[in-house]
Amino acid sequence: MASKFRVAAWVVVGAITGIMATLQVQALARNTVSPLPLEELQQFAAVYGLIKADFEYLDKKNFKDFKESTSGKFVGVGIEIAAEDGLVKVVSPIEGSPAARAGIHAGDLITRIDNTAVKGLSLSDAVKLMRGKPGTKVTLTVLRKSENRTLTFTVTRELIQVQSVKGKMIAPGYGWIRITQFQADTLSSFVKKIDALYKEDPNMKGLILDLRNDPGGLLESAVGVASVFLPNDAVIVSTKGQMPEANSTYRNTPSDYMSRPGDNPLDTLPAGVKTVKLVVLINGGSASASEIVTGALQDYKRAVVMGTLSFGKGSVQTV
C-alpha cells in the first residue's frame, strides 16, 4: 500500500513539474513576463487542485458570485456549504432563509440537486444548480446521518438579504448580540449595536455573543469582532501553509481588520466593553470565521464558551 502511495505522489509531482515546465517554456518563447493566458492558468489550476482540495479556480462569473455571497444579498436557497466525501455538506442554513424554513439542518449531506447527482461536482457547480431566479423551485435530496435517513426538500428560491448583526437587552444589565454571518459591513454594524446597547444601559454587567449557526465569512471581519474585546496588538489568528506567503499573523491592529483607510470603528467603543463579562454561544453550525472569534476569545480567557462542538473548519481561502 505504501508503495502505491509513493507512486501516486510521484505521478502528481511529475504532472506539476511537467505543466510548470510547459508554462515556463511558453513564457520564454514569448520572451515576456506578462500574465499567462487564461487557458494556461486554468490548466495549472486543474493540476494544482489535485493536491490541494480547497483550491479552486474562479473565473469572472464565479468570482462575482463569491463577492455576492459575502455581501449578504443574493438569490438562492440560503445555505452555507462545504465539500465532504465528494458530496455537499450543509455548514449552516442562513437564519430565516427558504432552506431554514424548509427544515434543512446543519450537517445534512446534499446528494442530489433536482435530477443531478452531486457526487463529483465542484462546490461552484453545486452553487450554480441551487441558484436561479426568485420564485423558481429546486429539489434537494439530503442524507441526514444523525437520523440515518434520506430526505427530500422542495425549496423556493428567493432574494436572500442577510442582516449580519442583531441585538437587544434581555435583562437589566445584560445584552445579547447575534452575528449571523461575517460580511463586509459586519464590524461597523457590530460596533453600532454595542454602542446602542451601552447607551440603553451604561452599567452593562454581561454580554452574550451568539454565533450559533454562523457559517463564517470574511476573515478581516472576524479579526475586527475579536479585536473589540481583546487588547491592542493581540494575536487573533495565524495561518500556515506550504508556501511562505501563506504564513500570516492577524492582530488587533487596524490594518488587519480594515480593508480601506479611514476612521477606526473601534475608537468609538465604550471602555467597559474590554472588561465586561462575556459568554459566546456556538453549535455545530458555527464555522470558519465564527470559530476564529471563539477560539481567540477563549485562548485569552476573555469569554466563557457554551454550546456544542463547532463545525471544525480550520482553513482560510485567499482570493
Mark residue 31 as left, alpha or beta (left: phi above 0; alpha: psi -120 to 50; beta: remaining): left
What does DSSP assign to residue 182?
Answer: B
Q: In terms of domains, do 11 and 136 share one?
A: no
| Distance separating alpha carbons of residues 29 and 252, to the nearest angstrom | 47
Are residues 32 and 90 both part of a single domain?
no
| Residues 44, 66 share a domain | no
Among candidate residues 219, 203, 215, 125, the one with its CA nearest the CA of residue 169? 203
Give the per-residue pLDDT at 151: 97
Active site residues: 288, 299, 313
Q: Would you state the pLDDT for residue 241?
A: 79
Residues with pLDDT less than 70, the chain: 1-72, 314-319
Residue 319 lies in a domain: no
**Whether 270 contacts 196, CB under 8 Å:** no
Q: What pLDDT, on the 0 to 100 scale, is given for residue 239?
A: 87
* Predicted pLDDT at 8: 39
Q: Rounded CA gap, 13 and 47, in Å?
A: 10
262 burial type by CB count under 10 A (0-12 exposed, 13-18 middle, 19+ buried): exposed
Provide the pLDDT for residue 3: 46
Q: What is the CATH number of the domain that holds 251?
A: 3.90.226.10
CA distance 14 to 81: 33
Helix axes 2-30, 38-48, angle to 10 degrees: 170
Please state the domain count of the chain.
Answer: 3
- Of 131, 161, 191, the position where a domain reaches its end is 161
pLDDT value for 19: 41
- 300 and 173 in a single domain? The answer is yes
User: For residue 22, what are the domain limits?
Assistant: 2-51
Residue 95 confidence (pLDDT): 84
Task: Say what the pLDDT of residue 202 is.
Answer: 94
> Helix, strand or coil for residue 300?
coil
> Is residue 250 located within the same domain as residue 275?
yes
Of the three residues 104, 132, 161, the one that is the final residue of a domain is 161
Report yes or no on 313 lying in a domain: no
- Predicted local distance difference test score (pLDDT) of residue 5: 41
| pTM greater than 0.85 | no
Instruction: Describe the strand order of the beta sheet including 165-171 as a list of residue ranges.
Output: 165-171, 174-179, 206-210, 277-282, 304-307
Nine-digit cell string for 169: 437587552
User: Pick from 161, 196, 226: which residue ends a domain?
Assistant: 161
Residue 14 has a pLDDT of 45
Question: For residue 153, what is the enclosing H or E element?
Answer: strand 149-156
Q: Which residues contact 124 (CB under 8 A, 6 or more apart)?
A: 56, 58, 62, 65
State the pLDDT at residue 2: 46
Q: d(Cα 28, Cα 312) in Å, to the nearest integer? A: 44
Share of residues in the chain with pLDDT > 70 (%):
75
Closest CA to 110 of 76, 133, 83: 83
pLDDT given at position 282? 96
pLDDT for 63 equals: 60
